[in-house]
A = this chain, B = another copy of it.
């Protein structure tokens, strides 16, 4: 990291470099099951999807790639997911400083240090926690799958899906994702536990393990837990209630399967990207719910994407506050500064613009008529929020469409704010001293 490069610029370059290497390796014949290269564009798409822990795929991971190719994808996921988790936490610290917040940063409570050795320690902590979670899951899933496919295969599948789940990547070795295990409590619980933990983020996990008591949690952790919990509950209730009317999905399932898959589908849309029922068969009302859940996504400092639960919480809070007459904005007996609300505003507006522009571009490049608009909106949101769910459009994309989705996955992973900071000029002197004037709003 040279002194001329800002931390977000550094993150952006590291990810670009990872994607480039991944593309080159995945385009090699040795990565392909058939022994013939899958081509540069599909390799680029897959590498970007893996590094950005997105999960959208243009070729079937389980059948098109060789074991070597699959292991490369798994490594890209692990490096991308952990890299982003680590970098995300560090960048958040830097950005926090840059926008002038002077309070003690949450993360310093963990590392007890501000020096660069503190950052190394932080990275090691994060890697340790990720491996701890994945090791537990690998053990459970290997035991579960051993009977079906023998020890070696079971271990391989357990490792691949554990890495994919904790990093919210959503890559699966089965072409129908986890649909075969729609009613399997062990697989459901293990995978959900992994991606929810990864999605909560490092800070929250550490506080949950160390502090345990609600009152001692930081504001960030409280907001993450409350908003994640509410979104999980609301998502489950809506998907369950809506799909119960749908003969193409729940009509074919028992009640226990309905509860599992209602929970799984609403949880997975918040960045994980696995699915246990076919998304394209769901009602359009449920698909709209999933789009909104994907857009909100997981939590800051985690492996998931989207605008983040904290952003959503802060926006709703600010909205209610204005409705009640304004004044100081507070949650859990802590004041939330105007700077934080402005950042949330910037994130949601730029994300909405991005999703709409991508949807617009895809509508044109893919020659979409109104009948397929939902698929485009779903795809654009999924690509941007790194959710990786698809109604089926990805596999039919034109070369130009693949390229647009690739860029979208990258922008969505870095987050519009990180990207803008990375690209921005140094802060201009703010022109103080203008008189205030009134504007009519709404």
Interface residues of A (CB under 8 A from B): 92, 96, 98-101, 103, 105-106, 201, 203, 218-220, 223, 242, 280, 283-285, 287-289, 292, 299-301, 307-308, 310-311, 314-316, 318-319, 321-328, 330, 333-350, 356, 359-360, 363-364, 368-377, 391, 415-418, 420-421, 424-425, 427-428, 430-432, 434-442
Closest B residue to A427 by CB, please name it: B325
Q: Identify whether the interface residues of A are mostly helix, strand, loop, or mixed.
A: helix
Given the interface pairs A283-B363, A371-B371, the reply to whether A324 lies near B424 with Cβ below 8 Å is yes
On chain B, the residues within 8 Å of A363 by CB distance are: 283-285, 288
Given the interface pairs A284-B369, A323-B420, A363-B288, the reply to whether A440 lies near B336 with Cβ below 8 Å is no
A417 to B326, CA, bound (A): 12
Given the interface pairs A336-B439, A370-B284, the reply to whether A431 lies near B328 with Cβ below 8 Å is yes
A280 to B369, CA, bound (A): 10
* Residue of A319, A347, A374 most packed against chain B (CB within 10 A): A319
In-complex Cβ contact of A323 among B100, B356, B421, B438 (8 A): B421
On chain B, the residues within 8 Å of A377 by CB distance are: 373
Is B375's CB under 8 angstroms from A308's CB? no
In-complex Cβ contact of A338 among B101, B323, B338 (8 A): B338
In-complex Cβ contact of A324 among B343, B418, B427 (8 A): B427
Q: How far is the CB of A85 from chain B (nearest CB, A)?
A: 12
On chain B, the residues within 8 Å of A289 by CB distance are: 360
Closest B residue to A344 by CB, please name it: B441
Is A308's CB under 8 angstroms from B442's CB? yes
Other than A323-B417, A370-B374, A374-B374, give 11 A-B pairs with Cβ distance below 8 A.
A101-B438, A103-B436, A218-B437, A242-B364, A284-B376, A307-B442, A314-B441, A324-B424, A334-B435, A335-B437, A370-B375
A150 to B420, CA, bound (A): 62
A to B CB contacts below 8 Å, 28 in the list: A96-B438, A96-B440, A99-B325, A101-B438, A105-B438, A201-B440, A220-B439, A220-B440, A242-B364, A283-B364, A284-B376, A285-B364, A292-B356, A299-B440, A324-B424, A326-B427, A330-B431, A330-B434, A334-B436, A335-B434, A336-B436, A341-B342, A343-B442, A345-B345, A347-B442, A348-B349, A370-B375, A371-B371
